[in-house]
Amino acid sequence: MAGFKKGLVGQITNKLEELHISNTLFIHCILHQHALCAKALNISCVLNPVIRIINFVRGSSLNHRQFKVLLDDFGSEYFDLPYYTAVRWLSCDNVLNRFYKLRSEIDIFLTSKNNYYPELSDLAWLSKLSFLVDVTTHMNELNLKLQGKENLICDFYRIIKAFRQKLMLFESQLGVRQFSHFSCFKSFCEANCNEIDITFQIGIIKELKHHFLHKFSELDKIESDIILFENPFSCNVENVQHELQLEVIDLQSNEQLKDCHRRTKLAEFYEYLKDDEFPRLKNFAIKMISIFGTTYQYYRKFTKP
């Protein structure tokens, strides 16, 4: 679909070229890019044993029933283990979190079945598991922010840039063994005298940094357009596309429109601009508004019960 020759993107580009329309802009689904960043992480050393254990517990109706009885007998906060679904990577947060909190009960159950997993008593492995619980929580929080139904491209970009900065902070703090933003991992380290090698943890954050820089580079390329779109009154006219500069100057000199910009939602603000006064700026705004970034509105419209 996204192929630049035979895919939809390529077909649209070719047609627009025939119509002598240039400067077309294509942005991948931002939620999909977020999911790709998550899936690219090399966490199989943790995830594979977790999946095998869950499949053992839930793969047999007898095992599953006995495990739930054990949880009930122990007065556990949870009554079951969720399955991991590879297609929905973000389910990883719920799976890892639940698995970590039930690790003692899981170990007892497996022992009763003469099925031993050395990982459950391996501090190094458990430290990786606890860290990934925190990482997937951060990723899910980011996902929820990106799902906002009224998000515009400037909102998406602001959220992504903020997360990139958080990753830089995480890497810096991990380097000095500061775990403030990784509560599960921090508790695990404190319970084990902080004698934990964090090479894996730093590597995960570096991986995420790389993927978020690469996957969202297409947004960086249009940063000046995003800045102009979000607040045309505070942008530097020198950085604006030449064909828009004069209209932007006229706009910035209009106090009434400046007040309107402060009081109304961004998409609504551009409706107030007159076609004869700001034709290029309005066309520019339409292009930016059309970059909805996710398929949220599509699914909301076409998947109603």
Write out pLDDT tens, residues 79-136: 888 887 765 666 788 899 999 999 999 999 999 999 999 999 999 999 999 999 999 9
Half-sphere exposure of 183 (CA within 13 A, CB side): 4
Taking 60 as the threshold, does the pLDDT of residue 300 lie above it? no
- 3-class SS letters over 201-259: HHHHHHHHHHHHHHHCHHHHHCHHHHHHHHCCCCCCHHHCCHHHHHHHHHHHCCHHHHH
Q: What token pair was written down for 295?
A: 């398929």
Judged by average pLDDT, the poorest of 4-8, 68-72, 172-176, 300-304 is 300-304
The one-letter amino acid code at 105 reads: E
Judged by average pLDDT, the poorest of 4-8, 156-160, 248-252 is 4-8
Give the per-residue pLDDT at 298. 47
% of the chain with per-residue pLDDT over 90: 66
Distances (CA, A) of 255 to 252, 259, 261: 7, 6, 10
Give the per-residue pLDDT at 24. 64
In 3D, which of 305, 161, 141 has the Cα closest to residue 223?
A: 161
Q: How far apart are CA 193 and CA 180, in angstroms?
A: 16
199-215 and 123-146 are packed helices; what angle lies between their axes, rounded to 10 degrees? 20
Q: What token pair was written down for 227?
A: 């800045």
Length of the chain in terms of residues written: 305
DSSP structure class, residue 84: P
pLDDT digits (tens, 9 = 90+) for 185-228: 999 999 987 778 999 999 999 999 999 999 899 899 999 999 99
CB of 192 closer than 8 Å to CB of 185 = no
- In DSSP notation, 92-107 reads HHHHHHHHHHTHHHHH
Give the per-residue pLDDT at 281. 96
Distances (CA, A) of 305 to 148, 295, 297: 21, 17, 15
Mean pLDDT score of the chain? 87
Number of C-beta neighbours around residue 304 at 10 A: 6
CB of 145 closer than 8 Å to CB of 34 = no
